[in-house]
Amino acid sequence: MNLIISISKFRDNISEYLNEVSKGNKVIIKDEKRNIEIAEVISNKRFDKKSYEAVLRRTAGVLTSKSHPEWSTKNKVKDWIRKVRGESGRSFK
């Protein structure tokens, strides 16, 4: 959710708006007199290297030529695609 507020409201209630940002909301600060957007306050998503490595290890090797011999070579992939498309009744030209 986007919260659009004036500079003075942000200054008066900064902790409240920072709490909203921590919940995943975006705070847009506008200058009401000039009717321009001054800043956006958003949460910073951090890269979790350990989590990424765990997911990568769990999913690595899912699609291999051993588990899918029909995809082991480029020509086998072409043949497999033609076969599957033929079975589905679809044609691509």
Tens of pLDDT along the chain (93 residues)? Answer: 899 999 999 999 999 999 999 998 999 999 988 989 999 999 988 888 999 999 988 888 777 778 888 888 999 999 998 888 888 776 666
Which pLDDT score, from 0 to 100, does residue 85 have?
A: 86
**Domains detected in the chain:** 2-41 (3.40.1620)
Pull the structure tokens for residue 61. Answer: 């090797």
The answer to whether 17 and 5 are in contact (CB under 8 A) is yes
Q: Which residues contact 63 (CB under 8 A, 6 or more apart)?
A: 71
Q: How far apart are CA 40 and CA 45, in angstroms?
A: 15
Q: How far apart are CA 51 and CA 59, in angstroms?
A: 13
Model confidence, pTM? 0.47
